[in-house]
């Protein structure tokens, strides 16, 4: 039973992430997304935050707390992802422009 659940999640989770990103991309105007993609200073800050600062923060946390090796691997993989599935909701909750969230997830996911 547990193996069936693991296989199901392995299929359903990527489909969910893909459909979420597709939904956001289709609901935004192309020129709004392109406007954010052309801002090089903002793009560099997002790259540094997503691929340098987040993994460094997690590495520091993993040095402080002893965790199961499988959990350490999972958290490490999560920290080097560009937070695409969560960025859309965070953008919406902070009441910022959804095109900004869509451009960020398209560029770095």
Query: Do residues 83 and 104 make contact, with C-beta atoms less than 8 angstroms apart?
Result: no
List the structure tokens of 109.
């996911």
Q: Give the contacts of 33 (CB within 8 A, at least 6 positions apart).
A: 25, 99, 102, 103, 106
Summarize pLDDT for 80-106 with one digit per residue, the tens: 775 555 666 667 777 777 776 666 654
Lowest-confidence pick of 23-27, 55-59, 74-78: 23-27
pTM higher than 0.85 = no
Q: Residue 49's pLDDT band (boundaries 50, 70, 90)?
A: confident
pLDDT over 90 at 64, yes or no: yes
Q: What percent of the chain has pLDDT over 70?
A: 82
Contacts for 16 with CB less than 8 Å, ≥ 6 apart: none
């Amino acid at each position: 039973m547990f193996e069936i659940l693991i296989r199901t999640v392995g299929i359903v989770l990527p489909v969910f992430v893909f459909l979420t990103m597709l939904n956001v991309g289709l609901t935004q105007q192309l020129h709004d997304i392109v406007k954010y993609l052309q801002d090089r200073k903002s793009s560099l800050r997002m790259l540094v935050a997503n691929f340098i600062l987040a993994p460094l923060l997690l590495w520091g946390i993993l040095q402080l707390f002893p965790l199961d090796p499988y959990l350490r691997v999972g958290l490490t993989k999560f920290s080097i992802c560009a937070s695409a599935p969560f960025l859309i909701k965070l953008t919406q909750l902070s009441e910022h422009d959804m095109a900004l969230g869509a451009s960020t997830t398209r560029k770095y996911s």
